[in-house]
Amino acid sequence: MSTQLEINEVLIKYLQDLGYRKDAVVDELEKDTKALGKVAQMQIAKEQGQFLEIIVKVSNAKSCLEIGRFTGLSTLYLARGLPKDGHIVTVDTSDEFLPIAKKYWDRDGQAAKIKSIIGAGTEVMQSFIDRQYQFDIIFIDADKNNYPNYYELSLSLVPSNGIIIIDNMLWHGDVADSSKSDSQTQTIRDLNLKIRDDKRVEFSLTPLSDGLSFIRKK
């Protein structure tokens, strides 16, 4: 028998307190990110980061591609999950927050695994396709209106059994609110439907933080 939990502030606080293991590097990175102001909301939740690290480890991945870096927290967790000879390419349209990211990648001993590219995600992904590159795991957390393009490009960049993880797939709950019809909400809503019906993949849409779609290419 399935049980649906009511998500309230008490339960959220419990999850935040018990669902995350204290980590000095992560906590300091989060503090520096929060100091940036409202833009800090772009950072992934720490619980999501832990999940990403575990997925990388249990899948025995050696290569990751990240679309959307911000201050580098998700990059850090992905890199932690990789073996010493693993590598991650992280792509962002701006280098504005790269110094913060590099500071903590260095402090955590992960910098050697990480290559940062400044450019449009779709263009960089297409360039990898043209050169026949592949990645074991792709994590997407960037401009929402391009999510359908990132998804399709990702399917050409992961092998069979490769993993695609997409953040913000519940979009603050707006995807379930029929009164919300802005372009970002509708794009994510449509992509959720597409993934559900896509016979090329298996998937699980999880309510972790703002929603993670976990996808395995067949």
Average pLDDT over every residue of 70-98:
98
d(CA 78, CA 76): 6
Q: Is the per-residue pLDDT at 9 higher than 90? A: no
Quick one: which of 50, 89, 65 has its CA closest to 137? 65
d(CA 174, CA 189): 9
Query: What integer pLDDT is reported at residue 3 of this predicted model?
Result: 63
Query: What integer pLDDT is reported at residue 27 of this predicted model?
Result: 96
Lowest mean pLDDT among 95-99, 106-110, 208-212: 208-212
Q: Is the per-residue pLDDT at 8 higher than 90? A: no
What domains lie within the chain, and their CATH numbers?
9-217 (3.40.50.150)
Query: What integer pLDDT is reported at residue 2 of this predicted model?
Result: 56
pTM for the full predicted model: 0.95
Q: Is the per-residue pLDDT at 212 higher than 60? A: yes
Q: Which residues does 2 contact at the CB level (< 8 Å), separation at least 6?
A: none
User: Tens digits of per-residue pLDDT, 118-148?
Assistant: 999 999 999 999 999 999 999 999 999 999 9
| Both structure tokens of 71 | 């201050």
Q: Which residues does 37 contact at the CB level (< 8 Å), separation at least 6?
A: none
Assign 155 a pLDDT band (cuts: 50, 70, 90). Answer: very high
Question: Counting beta carbons within 10 angstroms of the beta carbon of residue 218, is it exposed (0 to 12), middle (13 to 18) or buried (19 or more)?
Answer: exposed
Query: What integer pLDDT is reported at residue 11 of this predicted model?
Result: 85
Query: What integer pLDDT is reported at residue 65 of this predicted model?
Result: 98
Helices vs. strands in the chain: H and E counts, helices first:
8, 7
Query: What integer pLDDT is reported at residue 138 of this predicted model?
Result: 98
